[in-house]
Structure 1
């Protein structure tokens, strides 16, 4: 018993003299590891949240623009539907009467041009949209390429300004044309085209040109989106009818 008591006293003396510093060192080491782990974990979470927030805002912006363009396209489609019904009404009237309907014939011709069922010829405007130069390492490439929303802005403005016929890279555009952007290319009614995108419109070239270059108008908005825009007024422009494109 005496030997055991002496041994216990020696162990207790050892921890009193040497054990406390070691114990403190272990405690501080564990605390330091916990703090370092927490900093790395929460720091990464904060950075991830910031990147996610930026991506969400950009996505919301493009979604809003796309919805706006889709709404405008639906309005234009409704207008075309009304015009088609007017054409049918005019044609029925032609069968019933033999009077001179020169004005109606001219209007029907304009409507057929809008529908793309006949070739369009005359003066007009050529608009070319190009991707801007960018550094893929430092910048987001999606902020420097042409999207379908940019093309819709040009097409809608040309239609409102009296364009009788419109084409994209030689593909005639109709009231129900389908345009979709896939990376650096666009698909128009099933046909894929790379940049640059050439939009041609037959109509009064001065009117079309001035409409695009209104202050705060289409061209100004495209430039703000880093799109390279060039326009050319053409005295003799020819657009093929739907189904006759090369």
Structure 2
């Protein structure tokens, strides 16, 4: 009789343990995927990420190859006659204006850093990424000073550029960035610096609010091209003489 009770007790314990293991197994399946352990899932995600990065790099390489071919075609046509050469120069000019060409030349670099850490809890403190209106004001001043190209943290500023707040950072042309904010502009270095750094000007105001400012004239600044592709869906060229 005693053996029967022990056997029944052992059977009940076995059933109970079986139920617990079954529940745990189902929970793991829901969390990391059926038949996959956490380490295996992490490895799978790493492989998928590497694959996506490889596809991105491949597309960028393909884009560069196509741009190289376009330049070869344009240059090849330009060598044939004066008309084609002028057409090539006009095309290059408009690509420069649209921001689709890497540019270099003299200009200035303006670096804006947040106030020192011991001032960051004051009532007047705010990180520079919160001051989008100030960043846009600087861009407007540089344009008024005839800057030929502008970048913000190495993102080309064009008429299609979007600058938006996103959490504790900002996105420029869809790329996340944070302080310090480094604005580069190609143009006459003295004119550009004077437009920003006169007494009462934008640099003076930023320094009054304890932002740390570095502004330098440069003999050679490199500004990258605008990387996003703009598709015209609703717009089309007007025919000559159309009202």
Q: TM-score, normalised by structure 2?
A: 0.52
8 Å CA contact 1:163, 1:208 repeated in 2: yes
Q: Which segments of 5 or more consecutive residues in structure 2 lack a partner in the other structure?
A: 1-81, 229-243
8 Å CA contact 1:110, 1:164 repeated in 2: no
8 Å CA contact 1:163, 1:203 repeated in 2: yes
Aligned to 2:181: 197
- Aligned match of 2:105 in 122, 128, 134? 122
Q: CA deviation at 1:174?
A: 0.8
Q: CA deviation at 1:202?
A: 1.0
Answer with 174-183 or 190-199: which moved more.
174-183
Cα deviation digits, residues 77-96 of structure 1 (max 9, x gap): xxxxxxxxxxxxxxxxxxxx
Aligned to 2:48: none
Cα deviation digits, residues 132-167 of structure 1 (max 9, x gap): 024479524x72310212211211111111111111
- How many residues end up aligned between the 2 structures? 146
How many angstroms apart in 1 are the aligned matches of 2:217 and 2:119?
A: 34
In structure 2, do the counterparts of structure 1 residues 220 and 175 end up closer, same or farther at CA, with 3 Å as the change threshold?
same
In structure 2, do the counterparts of structure 1 residues 133 and 182 end up closer, same or farther at CA, with 3 Å as the change threshold?
farther
In structure 2, do the counterparts of structure 1 residues 114 and 228 end up closer, same or farther at CA, with 3 Å as the change threshold?
farther
Higher Cα Rg, which structure = 1
How many angstroms apart in 1 are the aligned matches of 2:138 and 2:120?
A: 30
How many angstroms apart in 1 are the aligned matches of 2:120 and 2:147?
A: 41
Q: What does residue range 42-57 of structure 1 map to in structure 2 within 5 Å?
A: none
How many angstroms apart in 2 are the aligned matches of 1:194 and 1:152?
A: 15
Q: Which segments of 5 or more consecutive residues in structure 1 lack a partner in the other structure?
A: 1-96
Answer with 226-235 or 112-121: which moved more.
112-121
Aligned to 2:200: 216
8 Å CA contact 1:123, 1:237 repeated in 2: yes
How many angstroms apart in 1 are the aligned matches of 2:182 and 2:120?
A: 29
Aligned to 2:138: 154
Aligned to 1:145: 127
In structure 2, do the counterparts of structure 1 residues 182 and 193 end up closer, same or farther at CA, with 3 Å as the change threshold?
same
Q: What does residue range 4-15 of structure 1 map to in structure 2 within 5 Å?
A: none
Aligned to 1:43: none
Aligned to 2:223: 239
How many angstroms apart in 2 are the aligned matches of 1:130 and 1:221?
A: 14
In structure 2, do the counterparts of structure 1 residues 226 and 202 end up closer, same or farther at CA, with 3 Å as the change threshold?
same
Structure that is richer in helix per residue: 1
Q: CA deviation at 1:215?
A: 2.4
Aligned to 2:147: 163
Q: TM-score, normalised by structure 1?
A: 0.51
8 Å CA contact 2:119, 2:125 repeated in 1: no
Say which SS state the counterpart of residue 121 (structure 1) adopts: strand
Q: CA deviation at 1:101?
A: 6.3
- Aligned match of 2:96 in 107, 113, 118? 113
